[in-house]
Amino acid sequence: MYPAPFRYHRPASLKEAILMLSALGETAKPLAGGQTLIPVLKLRLDEPTDIVDIGRLPDLRFARKENDWIQIGALSSHGWIAKSDIASAIPIVRDCAGGIADAQVRSLGTIGGSVSAAHPNCDWPALLHVLDAEVVCSGPNGDRQVPVDQFISDAYTTTLATDELVTSLRFKAPAAGSGGAYITYKKAAAAFPVCSVGIQLTLGAGNLCQDLRIIMGGAGPTPRRALEAERELRGREINPQLWARAADAAIAVAEPDSDTRGDTAYKRQLLRGLILKVADVAMLRCANTKIEGSHIYA
């Protein structure tokens, strides 16, 4: 199906794009890599009057470290991030970026588009929650930083204003002694994940858990933090029995939908298995072991 007719605009700068969105109002939509928006238009799930193509705006593709903060530009594609120095230094970022879809989608789809689309099963919203990231939103009155769990307010819904753009994502670089991993379970490369789990863990001597965050993707309308599971582990010497208890506590708060990819009970067990697998990889990475956190295909 062809999309409904729309007017196409290609601003030359970020400032011009924001002015354009302000002038056009809420029936205009920004277009970045088009990997979500184009199918949505073709299926006529949305019929914007105006498309503001931000895909070629300069200066929004970068990944850098400044002091303790990592900042990634909104127009950085998944594939570009996977090959960046930041992904080499922070393996959980490489797990996420390198595992999204296939090479074609990875080369066009952007981190800013992924977080703005707020799909419940998509990878960046969950991964950025693991890293306690902030979304930098730029509008006519300047920039504001919004924690990613407040930015995504519901499935496919964000708190971004219609005259704002996501311009970057930022998070604190993981502490020394910290290791993280992110793994999804999916039917095929070019399919959205059924479920995913990300864990960032900081261990002290004797496997003492100093801190951690456990986030589950596809476990509800928005990425779900397993707070009770974290409490099971924080401040304790971690062992497999404790991880098993934590995994049970985590899936007690998971609310995956029953759909063609599996029912709720099946997906809860899937999440439990993923937590134990991701925990293994994160612990090895805390000990500086180089290990790939490969996704699991059905």
Q: Would you tell me which residues interact with ligand FAD (CB under 6 A)?
A: 29-37, 74, 100-101, 105, 108-110, 112-114, 116-117, 122-124, 160, 165-166, 190, 192-193
Nearer to ligand FAD, 74 or 247 (CB): 74
Tokens matching residue 278: 């991701």
CB of 113 to ligand FAD, least distance (A): 2
Nearer to ligand FAD, 32 or 131 (CB): 32
**What contacts 247, CB < 8 A, 6 or more positions away?**
229, 272, 275, 276, 279
Distance CA 50, CA 286 (A): 48
Nearer to ligand FAD, 31 or 233 (CB): 31
CB of 111 to ligand FAD, least distance (A): 8
Closest CA to 275 of 254, 256, 250: 250
Distance CA 298, CA 285 (A): 25
CB of 174 to ligand FAD, least distance (A): 21
Given CA atoms 19, 25, 26, 29 in this order, what sign does their dihedral have?
negative
Phi-psi region of 286 (alpha: psi -120 to 50; beta: other; left: phi over 0): alpha
Amino acid at 263: D
Nearer to ligand FAD, 124 or 243 (CB): 124
Nearer to ligand FAD, 95 or 230 (CB): 95
Count Cβ atoms within 10 A of the Cβ of residue 229 and give its class: 0-12 exposed, 13-18 middle, 19 or more buried: buried
Closest CA to 18 of 139, 110, 127: 139
CB of 46 to ligand FAD, least distance (A): 8
- 197 with 96: CB under 8 angstroms? no
Nearer to ligand FAD, 164 or 230 (CB): 164
Given CA atoms 262, 182, 109, 139 in this order, what sign does their dihedral have?
positive
Nearer to ligand FAD, 55 or 177 (CB): 55
Q: Which helix (DSSP H) or strand (DSSP E) does residue 191 occupy?
A: none
- 203 with 210: CB under 8 angstroms? yes
CB of 161 to ligand FAD, least distance (A): 10
Distance CA 197, CA 183 (A): 6
CB of 37 to ligand FAD, least distance (A): 3
CB of 149 to ligand FAD, least distance (A): 17
CA atoms within 13 A on the CB side of 34: 13
Nearer to ligand FAD, 71 or 110 (CB): 110
CB of 226 to ligand FAD, least distance (A): 20
